[in-house]
Structure 1
């Protein structure tokens, strides 16, 4: 295990780690600030990720010089958050890992910087989650929230597990620091894309839960790959197909592709009433233009690309082939290879990757 300690329990963060709550609420602050003629500072908000709401409220009122108190800010914006939370979905691979841990009797806890009542709202909206966690903790149940280690230490204590045998999985720097302060091993699954190495303080960094390898930590390995690929809960994307690439269309009702999606996937395009196309998709983030932009390469494998050229298409990704080892642009690694096409075509002819319709519920 490369010197890593064997793990006997797992502790998850919630927002941005298990659920795409940050994705569905990303524009709320922007909309709120417009009321006061203010423009959101994305860099500042990224650094605030993972903070306790009360602390964030104080900082936001101060940074944007709002003519209201932090309490008034919270009273105004929290109902907006509650409405959006109900739309949150598990991130790719999350349900798979939770079911795997439960199957093998590995206890796992939830430790969030949100207040307990808000944590329960989010958990209760996900089928089967309420009974899955051994422990559910909110920041109002300990002396100090993250980056203090209190939440993680309390979770370990309630599970009856030594802190040194716990694995923390986090998406924010605040949470990673808390895990390290608790002397636990930490896996980072960053929810924001950056070229900085700030997440390197974690013991291991992965792009998504689909890249998580339990055996590295002394946990039972996954056994659910089918025909050299992994069946996944459908990921929907909508875009304009141009010259081998898919330009995303901003439409939250038709696209739920998270920032953590990296790698080569495959799925279906419902082109018209009579034809369904098989497609392989390579998803990565590209920083060559000075800021991170999602780069989606798409290749039709049972038809002609010209059938969908310059057309808006809906795609349902149902399988995962491989991830990328690094964020650095590697044309060989991120290109769709012939072996990817062969794998996808074989898989899409099997029942494991069948799909009845293309488009989100």
Structure 2
């Protein structure tokens, strides 16, 4: 394979890409839905992945027509998630890639749909790894007007790198969710998708991998492993 791009900066999603948290959301939300004999289907999950959390709960409440407000869904699900988040592990290949890029002084950051409070819980057991990031942009940042699939969070991340002005064409976004890929493409950035194996409709990412263990840095002009 030839070089797909000349990447100088890398933007990571968090959930399902660095940290193995996506399944935890399934458990937390389904625990609530069990009371109403409803199911958090994979198709519904794909619609909300990457959204700001409250917007996601609004869509779930509307789609499943359950007698509970989005606010209550947020509160209950987050209470269910708190303990689970503290025990989450990393996704295959994520730590190796992050440490490799840090070794070669490639600027990195996180752009996540998580709120600041959720982010702190999720990353609590992985502070050493997360500290290698230059910064993190979270969904409750006042400058993030619209969540993924809008490009706001990635464009904001690009603007905050400490190095000289960065071009979107030199940024690589690593994502697991369709909404994240749509946002990256809208930001005119290169993007790699590591989707859930159950996903049927794969958006037009520049590269699709089964896991980050398959990622070859040289494909994007980055230093080889």
Q: How far, CA to CA, are the matches of 1:19 and 1:46 in structure 2?
A: 18
Report the TM-score, using the length of structure 2 for normalisation. Answer: 0.91
* 2:126 partner SS: coil
Query: Between Structure 1 and Structure 2, which shows a larger proportion of strand residues?
Result: 1
Question: 1:229-240 alignment to 2 at 5 Å?
Answer: none
**Post-superposition offset of 1:124:** 2.7
**TM-aligned CA deviation for residue 77 of structure 1:** 1.5
- How do residues 61-140 of structure 1 correspond to structure 2 at under 5 angstroms? 61-140=61-140
Which of 204, 216, 220 is the aligned partner of 1:213? 216
SS state of the match for residue 26, structure 2?
A: coil
Contact 2:15 2:21 in 1 (8 A): yes
User: How is 1:298-313 mapped onto 2 (pairs within 5 angstroms)?
Assistant: none
Give 1 or 2: higher helix fraction: 2
Per the alignment, residue 177 of structure 2 pairs with 172
Q: What is the distance in 2 between the residues matched to 1:170 and 1:212?
A: 12
Larger Rg over CA atoms: 1
2:11 matched residue in structure 1: 11
Q: Which moved more, 1:158-167 or 1:145-154?
A: 158-167
Q: Secondary structure at the match of 2:182?
A: helix
CA distance in 2, matches of 1:97, 1:52: 27
CA RMSD of aligned residues (A): 1.6
Matched, 1:203 2:200: no
Q: Deviations over 1:85-116 (max 9, x none)?
A: 11211111111001100100001000001112
Distance 2:2 2:185 in 1: 18
SS of 2:140 mapped into structure 1: helix
Number of residue equivalences: 220
Cα distance in 2 for residues equivalent to 1:192 and 1:86: 25
TM-score by length of 1: 0.58
- 2:50 corresponds to: 50
Q: Which residue of 2 aligns with 1:146?
A: 148
